[in-house]
Amino acid sequence: MLYLSNFITMVWYQLTFKPQPLPDDIRLDGLTAIVTGANVGLGFEAAKELASHGLSRLILAVRDLSKGEAAKAEVSREAPECDILIWQLDQESWESMVAFAKRASAELDRLDIVLLNAGLKRLEFTRSPTGHEAHVQINYLGTALLSLLLVEPLRRTSQQKGKPSRMTITGSSVAFSAPVQDILEPKGGKGIISWLDDPASFVPGISRYKPSKLLGVLWTRALAARLDSANIILNTLNPGWCNSSFHRVDASAEWMSKFLAWSSAEGGYHLTDAAVRHPDSHGEYLSEQRIRPVPNLVSSAKGKEVQNKLWDETTSLIRAECPDANIEEFTRVE
């Protein structure tokens, strides 16, 4: 019933809402932004739109440097005055993420906008080189670690300029049709992450993509509660169903895209809207370019309990598997 309700809601806004680009009068002159997953799809479109609004420096965070160079060439044609840098980032490597964050802290004189957009969708169970299920690693753990490690340069810039920096995490409305009970109370006494890492709990299809996005919503709320919105505004967003290569592994989704999907550019409008606008938001979920309430499964007392449990599991895991991250420095309550 919950899945049907979410599906009907999704179809309704896909057919009735028209995503809008940033207004022309929004200027980003002098600002520096990082966009992960920036060489293709929504991340690429968002990077291109940010650059077109006067962004001074843009870091395209990509796994494949050659693909990053191709994306840079196209963005540069539309925004020739933007200083575009290609930095390697692999969210299946703890070492790569730590090195990326250290580089950002050491080499950037300012960091105003971070758009954490990298992700994947698969229909089969696959493991990342870290040992975690691939969706769990890339969509959730990698994003969570980067969100911690990039707090310091964002906060430093905020204190220099006297206004909040912005961090935005790309989510999805499918988060709220995930197998909720299995997240709230994993079977066999397992932790949330260890349950999702177990192939015995996997059901073919998008049974890992959905919960990876739910974890992202819970993580956003948990981290936002530990950050001062006067320094960093953190939100997550639903970009809607978009016609991009992201769905190339899912034949049924590609077929439905013909009737329901927005373009990649329209999906990118959601990312830039969340990253630049809504100055009074923090820890929010945005959909259709506006703040939307999260379902009761997230906002309830039980949801808050699971949110805190996930925070503890995640930070404990990162300390154990990525000791070089030194996350204690970035997770203190402000």
Residues designated catalytic? 172, 209, 213
Long-range (24+ apart) CB contacts under 8 A made by 206-209 are 206/121, 206/123, 206/174, 206/250, 207/179, 208/122, 208/125, 208/133, 208/134, 208/135, 208/136, 209/121, 209/122, 209/135, 209/139, 209/174
183, 211 contact by CB (below 8 A): yes
Q: Say how many C-beta atoms besides its own lie within 10 A of residue 283's C-beta.
A: 19
94, 121 contact by CB (below 8 A): no
Tokens of 69: 């160079």
Stated as kind and residue range, the H or E segment containing 262 is: strand 262-263
Kindly list the strands in the beta sheet with 57-62, ordered across the sheet, starting from the edge strand earlier in the chain: 83-88, 57-62, 32-36, 113-116, 165-170, 232-238, 285-287, 290-292
52, 75 contact by CB (below 8 A): no
12, 182 contact by CB (below 8 A): no
283, 235 contact by CB (below 8 A): yes
Residue 60 bridge partners (DSSP)? 35, 86
Nearest to 62 by CA among 33, 92, 100, 36: 36
